[in-house]
Amino acid sequence: MVHGGPDVLELVDVPETHAGPGEVRLRVFAAAVNPTDTMARNGSRAEQQKLDPPPYVPGMDAAGIVDEVGEGVTTGVKVGDRVIAMVCPNANHGAYREQIALKARAVVPAPAGTTHVEACTLPMNGLTARQSLDLLGLSAGQVLAVTGAAGAYGGYVIQLAKADGLTVIADASEADEALVASLGADIVVRRGDDVASRIREHFPDGVDGLADGAVQSERVVPAVRDGGAFTAVRGFIGEPQRGVTFTATSVRGYDGEFEKLDRLRQQAEAGVLTLRVADTYPAAQASEAHRRLEAGGTRGRLVLEF
Ligand SMILES: NC(=O)c1ccc[n+]([C@@H]2O[C@H](COP(=O)([O-])OP(=O)(O)OC[C@H]3O[C@@H](n4cnc5c(N)ncnc54)[C@H](OP(=O)(O)O)[C@@H]3O)[C@@H](O)[C@H]2O)c1
């Protein structure tokens, strides 16, 4: 793949890879299509990719079967296990591949009773949601606001926050209200540029924390109380104000966090987390999946099958 629109996605042959020491190799059967993949594709990340030779292979979420275990692996994984992993893409090392070698601590068992397609929707967005909540550092009983709540990230934030004992106020379009409520939000307000004032109608002093999945940045800072916490997903750090703590969630920081991903696996098995699939495409139709994701409005993840 070179950079450009969805049509630059094409099938390519890459050399066979093997599990090195401390690694496992997966036969990938499903890879989720995430917004970040469109940025890897369209050149927004060209600066970071410039030292890597093409073809670039996007993809941060894989589900498949282990077919090789390297020396010194201590996570208990065996050939034949059904697993999931977050992939941090680099050159042709991305989740949109039939075969990939990963550090063993990035690979955990797939949630029991799920298909590869369902399972691949968990790792990257689940870990991102977990990291956002860890950065916000709220305690049970405190109030969290979530924007972009109908999205893959937003949905997991709501569900993990409820499991952590938080009260959740979340945004939704009229069409998504029932969905967002079903994910566990205690209060649902209409999404939009004035969502901060709608949140303040319910919490006049502001909320304790806000996870900004809709990337509304400074427009939603007013929803946070003095001394509260705000976490962004695309690097936004607000101007210092009212004692608000700003953090930038960056899920690559949770690469190889075996226990955290395995906990998400357990929470999916327990029904705390809902794995939402919008549609599936054969890998050869990845460009179609990217076009559809970029059009907006998908609810649940689009998944490529290999
Ligand atoms: N930093 C990290 O490590 C990291 C990791 C994962 C994700 N992310 C980022 O997190 C964001 C969410 O990811 P996702 O996978 O959940 O995306 P998604 O599934 O597309 O969800 C985003 C949601 O936000 C809604 N939205 C978009 N613009 C909005 C606005 N102005 N006001 C209210 N709602 C709006 C979307 O609605 P429509 O579909 O109707 O537009 C959609 O429901 C993306 O920007 C992604 O790149 C960052």
| C-alpha pair distances (Å), 236 with each of 26, 212, 286 | 35, 10, 30
Residue whose CA is at the smallest distance from ligand 1 atom 2 = 250
Residue found by looking up tokens 């970029």 in the block: 294
Q: What is the pTM of this model?
A: 0.98
What would the CATH number be for the domain defined by 125-252?
3.40.50.720
Over residues 155-170, the pLDDT tens digits come to 999 999 999 999 999 9
Over residues 246-305, the pLDDT tens digits come to 999 999 999 999 999 999 999 999 999 999 999 999 999 999 999 999 999 999 999 999
- Is CATH 3.10.580.10 the right assignment for the domain spanning 6-122+275-305? no
Same fold, 6-122+275-305 and 125-252: no
Question: Ligand 1 center to residue 146 CA distance, Å?
Answer: 11
> Between 39 and 52, where is the model more confident?
39
> Smallest Cα–Cα separation from 97: which of 7, 30, 50, 40?
30
Task: Tell me the best of 33, 36, 38 to mutate to test the pocket of ligand 1, counting ligand atoms within 8 Å of each CB and taking the most.
Answer: 36
Separation CA 104–CA 118 (nearest Å): 21
Question: Ligand 1 center to residue 5 CA distance, Å?
Answer: 20
Question: Ligand 1 center to residue 30 CA distance, Å?
Answer: 21
Q: For the chain, which residues make up each domain, given as ranges?
A: 6-122+275-305, 125-252
| C-alpha pair distances (Å), 93 with each of 16, 52, 74, 78, 98 | 12, 10, 23, 22, 11
